[in-house]
């Protein structure tokens, strides 16, 4: 896993079935501008050992790799959401394609712990990680508490609660986590797309909210009216305060308008667009 270069994982953490181990800082970290930690966990995979057919063995290998990668992606998106700190699966680019890595999976009976040194270069001197106390709801920035990445004291309990949810509720929340992680990962390089992702994160959480579908203009219900903006605003009313202060309400309306301007105008060709660094441009050249 990649984290901020100056936000190295504080130590070794055991979170349920997951173990997080920081890696040593090497010259490659300085070049890439990030620190690393290893995420270890068990999962049920397909047989790769007792199969004679080489093509089937190869398919099982890549299926297991994808399964493990998806579990890791899910956990890291939740970690980012809970700590509000940038992190991602380490990845290497190869031409126009991208692959996740480095990664390693093996049968428990064939597991060789030396791989942790040769592949991941874990920090053998790392001590147990220090949990920090965070008041809920936390609207601040956990990263300001310490220069290193420390996990909230309630992270284990919240992780257990998350993965105990029904599949529908869990997937709804994880969709929001994935969108939030994407936004943090791309904020500096692609701020416009990050804003779209942040709005999508809120929309994921409000997908099941009731909508009257009543159209004020037609004075009747309309199947096309989804009250998306109202649901977006309601999320903050439920979690911040009701009614929202005028300035915050105006800010949220502006954010949603910017998001809609980019998605519904620029990407659909109604306005000139000059890349994902901008929202959209009016015909007279003024940026919207």
More reliable by pLDDT, 45 or 278: 45
| pLDDT at residue 99 greater than cutoff 90 | no
Lowest mean pLDDT among 102-111, 220-229, 235-244: 220-229
| pLDDT at residue 140 greater than cutoff 70 | no
Task: Supply the pLDDT for residue 203.
Answer: 86
Model pTM score: 0.81
Query: How does residue 51 score in pLDDT terms, banded at 50, 70 and 90?
Result: confident
Task: Supply the pLDDT for residue 285.
Answer: 45
Task: Supply the pLDDT for residue 95.
Answer: 65
- Summarize pLDDT for 143-201 with one digit per residue, the tens: 555 578 999 999 999 999 999 999 999 999 999 999 999 999 888 888 878 888 888 89
| Residue-range domain boundaries for the chain | 2-164
Residue 64 CA to residue 31 CA, distance in Å, equals: 31
| pLDDT at residue 288 greater than cutoff 60 | no
Task: Supply the pLDDT for residue 281.
Answer: 40
Query: How does residue 52 score in pLDDT terms, banded at 50, 70 and 90?
Result: confident
What share of the chain has pLDDT > 90, as a percent?
42
Task: Supply the pLDDT for residue 216.
Answer: 66
Task: Supply the pLDDT for residue 218.
Answer: 61
More reliable by pLDDT, 232 or 131: 131
Lowest mean pLDDT among 234-238, 243-247, 281-285: 281-285
Task: Supply the pLDDT for residue 3.
Answer: 93
- Supply the mean pLDDT for the chain: 82
Task: Supply the pLDDT for residue 139.
Answer: 59
Task: Supply the pLDDT for residue 225.
Answer: 54
Query: How does residue 211 score in pLDDT terms, banded at 50, 70 and 90?
Result: low
Query: How does residue 68 score in pLDDT terms, banded at 50, 70 and 90?
Result: very high
- Summarize pLDDT for 6-31 with one digit per residue, the tens: 889 999 999 999 999 999 999 988 88
Task: Supply the pLDDT for residue 111.
Answer: 86
Task: Supply the pLDDT for residue 179.
Answer: 93
Task: Supply the pLDDT for residue 268.
Answer: 54
């Amino acid at each position: 896993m990649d984290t901020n270069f100056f936000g190295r994982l504080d130590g070794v953490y055991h979170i349920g079935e997951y173990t997080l181990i920081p890696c040593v800082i090497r010259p490659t970290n300085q070049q890439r501008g990030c620190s690393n930690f290893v995420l270890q966990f068990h999962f049920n995979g397909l047989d790769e050992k007792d199969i004679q057919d080489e093509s089937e063995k190869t398919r099982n290998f890549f299926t297991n790799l994808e399964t493990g990668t998806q579990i890791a992606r899910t956990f890291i998106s939740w970690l980012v959401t809970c700590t509000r700190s940038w992190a991602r699966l380490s990845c290497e680019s190869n031409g126009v394609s991208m692959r996740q890595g480095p990664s390693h999976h093996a049968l428990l009976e064939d597991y060789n712990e030396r791989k942790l040194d040769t592949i991941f270069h874990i920090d053998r001197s790392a001590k147990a990680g220090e949990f920090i106390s965070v008041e809920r709801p936390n609207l601040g920035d956990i990263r300001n508490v310490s220069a290193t990445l420390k996990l909230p004291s309630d992270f284990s309990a919240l992780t257990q609660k998350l993965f105990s949810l029904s599949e529908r509720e869990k997937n709804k929340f994880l969709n929001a986590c994935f969108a939030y992680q994407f936004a943090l990962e791309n904020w500096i390089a692609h701020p416009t797309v990050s804003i779209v992702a942040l709005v999508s994160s809120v929309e994921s959480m409000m997908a099941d909210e009731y909508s009257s579908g009543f159209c004020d203009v037609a004075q009747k219900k309309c199947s096309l009216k989804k009250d998306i903006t109202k649901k977006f605003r309601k999320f903050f009313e439920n979690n911040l305060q009701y009614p929202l202060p005028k300035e915050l309400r105006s800010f949220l309306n502006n954010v949603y308008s910017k998001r809609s301007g980019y998605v519904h105008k620029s990407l659909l060709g109604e306005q000139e667009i000059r890349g994902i660094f901008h929202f959209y441009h009016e015909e007279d050249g003024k940026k919207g």
